[in-house]
Structure 1
Amino acid sequence: MTEHIHVRLVPKPASGPTLFSAQAFTTSGVGDLRNNRDAAGQTFEAARRLGFEARLTPLNAVEGIVSADQFEATFQATVREVRVEGDAGRLSLAQTSYLTARGALIVPEVLQEMVDFAYIPTPPTFFAPTIIPPNTSTYHLRLADVMQVLGASRCHRNGWTGRGVRAAVIDSGFARHPHFEQQGYTISRVSPSPAEHALTDPLGHGTAISANLLALAPDCHLIGVKQAGVSAAEALEAALTREPHVLSCSWGWDVDTQSIEELQREDANTYNELKDVMRIVKAAVNDGIVVLFSAGNGHHSFPAALPDVIAVGGVYVDERGELSASDYASSFTSHLFPERAVPDVCGVVGERREGNSRPKGHIMLPVPRGSAYEGDNLPSTMSRKGWALFSGTSSATPQVAGAVALMLSANPDLSPEEIKTILTSTATDVSAGQSAMGIPAEVGYDGATGAGLVDAARACAHAAAIRRERA
């Protein structure tokens, strides 16, 4: 076990509630959720005096490394190691294990006037699928096919290509790839951690899923924020300082299986981390940023359950073009936020092989050479080509984010609430199949697919009509 522990200190907000409750965070006018700059500076200095290797984060929290002995003395808490087994290890930045606290961290008296709460950040899961051989007998889609299925090509012919829209993606890294270079995309790469380079992507997840967004919105400015060496909260902060119009996140925590009160009693550290992430996401939506999260692949995922975000599920498209709910994509009613149903809408996702927990590959996506996903289950002749078949809500979420970028091309004045309403009212209904939870799709809005598969063409046409009406 490591001798040093990563801790995040969240200063008290300048105004607004500090409680983690559905009522506090779903009501408009909750106040300024951004952290108090003065309190952050004071916390930073106090943390350094306590022996932290501390730094201020982009939105004025404090993160730092402290020795195990100093951690126990400061926070009156101990830690435990959590092992990550099997495929889960590949889908998490922790790889093999991570540390979490036993119980809540007690904020020391010297920090109590400045610090709202503290916790040990834990790595979220990237909601990726497995990779299967892209041989002639395996049905799959190319990125151009995904663009056609979602109606993006019709948007492009109308001049709605994402130009002028900044779309941020937080993920494992964003490598250069010949596919991106050939298409001439505009990509900025950011790493909040000085120890991590944004161009390195050992998993291959971030590089691959970003291709979905760019296929739909080829003229947007993609901002890739690497989430490695920092908390999820700090990665969100780093993205927001780039002032994106759209924020796409294909990750989360599989924790929405109990009430907020139960979570606080049973896992205070996770409770505090979710509270922190929730405040940041709410601040982003209040600032007019459209935030999307993956529903998960059989997970009960937070932050997808947040009422203010667009939760993205999955629809399978077969060889005949027929649609069905993907039995690999999540759908559930939230326990953290009662009556909140996930997903809102869907992108394109594969389905499981019959009798197998692994999904069918569905979309051919670029991955970095030497990354964890390159070559898995591929014929030896294709094992080092820098491509793989992906399926899951990891890909569906940036697809829908790309559709949002197209909508903002058609009407840049739309609010996040308006965009969600348009997406749900123009989606293609899906009435066949069932989700990973066994919830069946039905005619109309249903628990498996929400409003259905996103139709970018109809959504953009609706957005453009609203702009004309307001002119």
Structure 2
Amino acid sequence: MSRLVYIAISVLCLIGIVLTSTSTAISVENKEIYAVVIFNSSSGKSLINDANVIINRTEALSAEEIKKYFATPENINITKKILEDLGFQVIANDQICAVIKGNKTLFEDVFNTTLIKKSVKTDLGEYYYIVPSKRLSLPSNLSNKAETVIFSSLVPIELYQLPSADPIPLQYYHLVVPNDISRILEADYPHSKGITGENVKVVMIDTGFYMHPYYKKRGYKIIQDAVIGDGTTDEIGHGTAIASNVLSVAPKIEFRSIKSMQIPPLPMMELAEVIAAFIKANSEGADVITNSWGLTEETVILLRSVDRTFILQEALLRVQIDIAIARGGVVLFAAGNGQRAWPGSMPEVISVGGVYIDEDGSLSASNYASSFYSLLYPFRHVPDVCGIVGNKPHGILIEMPTQPGSEVDVSFSGHTNIGVDTDGTESNDGWVVASGTSSATPQVAGVVALLKEVDPNLNQVQIKDILERTATDVSKGSSAMGDPAEPGWDTATGYGLVNAAKAIIIITTTLDIHSPTQSSPASAGAYDNPSHIQVTVEVKEGNTPITGLTMDDFTIKIGGKEATASIIDTSIPGRYVFDVAPPEQESPGKYDLEVILKYKGIEITDTEKDTVIYTKGKADVML
């Protein structure tokens, strides 16, 4: 297994490597097979017919668009009963589809066909998909209930990204969960205000979750779930490790791990299992869904060309992602470690890249994390924002707990060139030092959970905007693709490193103009020789008045022009009264009043429309 820290389903193509593909028929073993049954919609809308349109959209499907693919509750219940009576197990379902499993013989008998497994060979791996030898024949009792049955594509996973209850002391520079992650992302500030992610449901779709003593000691709220295998084990170790990042930032969340990836020696994921995991997450009302896995965009392009069932599964997965967003959830994906990651490149998701923090605290773009313009969605750039990620060659930076003896535990262990090629831990001690966008994504998910605690009604677009507006700018270093970090938004890091403190401050700090107002305006007198007016504002963080501010923290504008002002009264906590010398204007009329507050690095504004009245000037009187 390669060095891990970002799961890539079917990493078949990397930049600069030429693909070669052949399709070979292989006999299907008589073992469990996963498939997706698409229900007939009540509107007559066909998801099969619309699949190509769905996968190529440059924006999310709206709630109204999604509903057109919904089946009636009666149809869903009858179809599930028929499938179960036929011998299939329904793993998960929603109003669009059901994920089922059964053995080869059952599928062949029920659908009157022979199943063939085909493979597509590439320079970096092999992709499997199952097709019927002839057109499927739905049983008569299903033919008017379901559109079709899609057999799951079985995709190889290359993992890029652990016992003591506490991290193992190591003699080289590295970060330790939870404290270092909380400190660097400035989550200590919201924690001090009692904002810890309480009652927010966060789902991680990954390799499972082992209840490491580290997690037991800290009393986190954890639910171990699965759509495949045993959700209480994590033979790969990836999910157990990276979960420590989201819990470092938001320790009081309700955390649910959904295992959806198969175990070594050949890690594989069936696309139907991912769809089932999203169905589960949506049915549980997940507020945040964090995903540290993906395909390369080049692989998506290849698979679309060789496997029609992949297109249908891709469309179903995108619909599930958009369902989560449409119901108010927030979906995040890793940007990749040197790959063009999908679904991380979907325009609607929050795509997470990487920023490295040096021992002296300086920040730079991680040369281990991806940045790119999408090949699938015009003008889409990845990442949006970043978490903390190590540098090349292997991203060794964050010490995390994992299942002892897991693939992750073994892969990074060793004592050769410690801190660069190995992490200095043992192969069965349950600890690993690693990182990557796999770790960065749950870090950002933790910040999202803090925001969701403060305001559960914040949606994907609003949260993405908050994260971008409050991120710490990174202006040096370059990404894995060589994109340079620069002041402001840049191609390497997007808007920069997420900042939990600033994100919380911007949604909890209020600035309200008490007077003048539109209903009770102030008169500034002549537009070319205005008189002083008084302006009163109230400033709070949450319910707490903010005191101790000075004029240096405020800017007052009238009609877009800056006014000269001084604070003359602060006797009421949080209330500031200003003596304002209005600027001259070009003509008489009503002008907007704008007050701008700079507080802890955040700019907060309140505006009262048509609030300051200017009358005729001296020149007008003389005329």
TM-score, length of structure 1 as denominator length: 0.84
Residue from 335, 341, 356 that aligns with 1:295 = 335
Counterparts in 2 of 1:83 and 1:318: CA distance versus 1, 3 Å: farther
Matched, 1:422 2:466: yes
Q: Is the 8 A contact 2:209 2:257 kept in 1?
A: yes
Asked whether the equivalents of residues 105 and 269 of structure 1 are also in contact (C-alpha less than 8 Å), the reply is: no
Shift of 1:360: 3.4
- 1:122 maps onto 2:149 in alignment: no
Report the CA distance shift for 1:320/1:188 in structure 2 as closer, same or farther (over 3 A).
same
Deviation at 1:451, TM superposition (A): 1.1
Deviation at 1:465, TM superposition (A): 3.2
1:247 aligns with 2:289: yes
Evaluate the alpha carbon distance shift between residue 123 and residue 242 of structure 1 in structure 2; reply closer, same or farther with a 3 A threshold.
farther
Paired residue for 2:102? Answer: 65
- TM-aligned CA distance change 1:124 to 1:284, over 3 Å: farther
1:184 alignment partner, one of 206, 219, 231: 219
Residue identity (%): 33
1:81: Cα distance to partner? Answer: 4.3
Residue 201 of structure 1 aligns with which residue? 234
Query: Displacement of 1:10 after TM fit?
Result: 2.2
Q: Decide which of 433, 442, 457 is 2:486's aligned counterpart.
A: 442
Cα distance, 1:385 vs structure 2: 2.2
Cα drift, residue 199 of structure 1: 1.0
How far apart are the structure 1 equivalents of 2:328 and 2:68? 14
Deviation of 1:8 (Å): 2.1
**What does the per-residue CA deviation read over 1:26-77, in whole Å, with 9 as the maximum and x for residues that have no partner?**
353323167424444455466578x763425232414223427955975677
- Is 1:218 aligned to residue 262 of structure 2? no
Question: Residue 465 of structure 1 is aligned with which of 509, 513, 526?
Answer: 509
Q: Aligned to 1:441, what secondary structure does the other structure show?
A: coil
Structure 1 residue 221: Cα displacement: 1.1
- Look up the match of 1:91: none
Aligned residues of 1:257 and 1:335 also touching (Cα < 8 A):
no
- Does the 8 Å CA contact 2:58/2:378 hold for their aligned counterparts? no
> Which runs of 5 or more structure 1 residues have no equivalent in the other structure?
89-96, 354-358
**1:169 deviation in Å?**
1.0
> SS at 1:31's partner residue?
helix
Question: Residue 307 of structure 1 is aligned with which of 347, 362, 377?
Answer: 347
Report which of the two structures shows the higher radius of gyration computed on alpha carbons. Answer: 2
Structure 2 counterpart of 1:436, which letter? A
Normalized per residue, the structure richer in strand is 2
Following TM superposition, by how much is the alpha carbon of 1:11 offset from its aligned partner in structure 2, in angstroms?
2.1
CA shift digits 1:283-312 (9 cap, x unpaired): 110000011111112222221122221111
Q: 1: distance between equivalents of 2:160 and 2:451?
A: 26
- Give the 3 Å change call, closer, same or farther, for CA 410–243 of structure 1 in structure 2: same
Aligned to 2:409: 374
Please say which of residues 181-190 and 26-35 is displaced more in the overlay.
Answer: 26-35
Q: Secondary structure at the residue paired with 2:227?
A: coil
RMSD: 3.4
CA distance in 1, matches of 2:453, 2:278: 24
Structure 1: how far apart are the matches of 2:304 and 2:466? 36
Q: How does 1:297-376 map to 2 (within 5 A)?
A: 297-353=337-393, 359-376=394-411
Q: Quick check: 2:221–2:255 contact (8 Å CA) kept in 1? A: yes
Q: Which structure dedicates a bigger proportion of its chain to helix? A: 1
Match of 1:145 among 150, 157, 180: 180
The amino acid that maps onto 1:192 is: V
Q: Residue 391 of structure 1: CA displacement?
A: 1.1
Q: CA 1:128/1:26 → structure 2, altered by over 3 Å: closer, same or farther?
A: same
Q: What CA distance in whole angstroms lies between the structure 1 residues aligned with 2:276 and 2:347?
A: 21
User: Structure 1: how far apart are the matches of 2:204 and 2:478?
Assistant: 28
Q: CA deviation at 1:444?
A: 1.8
AA matched with 2:313? E
CA distance in 1 between counterparts of 2:58 and 2:114 reads: 29
Distance 1:33 1:150, change over 3 A: farther
CA distance in structure 1 between the aligned counterparts of 2:483 and 2:105, rounded to whole angstroms: 45
In the alignment, what sits opposite 2:117? 79
2:439 to 368, 376, 395: 395
Q: 1:237 aligns with which of 253, 264, 279?
A: 279
CA gap of 1:123–1:258, structure 2 versus 1, over 3 A, is closer
How far off its partner does 1:123 sit? 4.1
The equivalent residue for 1:26 is 60
Q: CA deviation at 1:366?
A: 0.2
8 Å contact from structure 2 (residues 57, 377) kept in 1 = no
Matched residues in 2 for 1:367 and 1:432: separation? 32
Q: Residues 301 and 227 from structure 1, CA distance in 2 versus in 1: closer, same or farther, beyond 3 angstroms?
A: same
**Aligned match for 1:100, one of 119, 129, 135:** 129
* Contact 1:40/1:56, CA 8 A, preserved across alignment: no
Amino acid in structure 1 at the alignment position of 2:428: R
d(CA) in 1 for partners of 2:322, 2:365: 29
Classify the secondary structure of the residue corresponding to 2:317: helix
Q: 1:129 and 1:381 mapped to 2: Cα distance?
A: 15
Aligned partner (choices 442, 448, 462) of residue 404 of structure 1: 448
In 2, Cα distance between equivalents of 1:104 and 1:231 = 23
TM-score (norm 2): 0.65
Partners of 1:441 and 1:298 in 2: how far apart?
Answer: 16
Q: 2:203 aligns with which of 165, 168, 171?
A: 168
Distance 1:213 1:318, change over 3 A: same
Letter in 2 for 1:242: E
Give the secondary-structure state (helix, strand or coil) at the position aligned to 2:217. Answer: helix
Change (3 A) 1:466 1:274: farther
The residue number in structure 2 matching 1:92 is: none
Most deviating of 414-423 and 429-438: 429-438
Tell me the CA shift for residue 442 of structure 1: 2.3
Deviation, structure 1 residue 460: 1.0
Q: Is the 8 A contact 1:76 1:106 kept in 2?
A: no
Question: Does the CA contact (< 8 Å) of 1:256 and 1:302 recur in 2?
Answer: no
Residues in 1 aligned to 2:474 and 2:390: alpha-carbon distance in whole angstroms: 15
CA distance in 2, matches of 1:388, 1:180: 15
Distance 1:332 1:31, change over 3 A: same
Matches within 5 A, 1:20-59: 20=51, 21=53, 22-23=56-57, 26=60, 28=62, 29-32=64-67, 35-36=70-71, 37-41=73-77, 43-44=79-80, 53-55=88-90, 57-59=92-94
The alpha carbon displacement at 1:173 in A equals 1.0
Q: Which residue of 475, 494, 497 corresponds with 1:453?
A: 497
Within 2, Cα distance between the matches of 1:290 and 1:362? 27
Check whether the contact 1:256–1:334 (CA below 8 A) recurs between aligned residues: no
**What does residue 266 of structure 1 align with?**
306
Question: Cα distance, 1:278 vs. partner?
Answer: 0.4
CA shift at 1:365, angstroms? 0.1
SS in 2 for 1:118: strand
Any idea what SS the aligned residue of 1:434 has?
coil
Q: Which amino acid aligns with 2:60?
A: T
Distance 2:224 2:122 in 1: 28
Partner letter of residue 378 of structure 1? G
Task: Give me the whole-angstrom Cα distance separating, in 2, the residues matched to 1:83 and 1:263.
Answer: 11
Q: Deviations over 1:206-261 (max 9, x none)?
A: 111111000100111111111146611001111222212111111112235666xx
* Whole-Å separation in 2 of the counterparts to 1:395 and 1:227: 18
Check the 8 A contact 1:121/1:232 in 2, yes or no: no
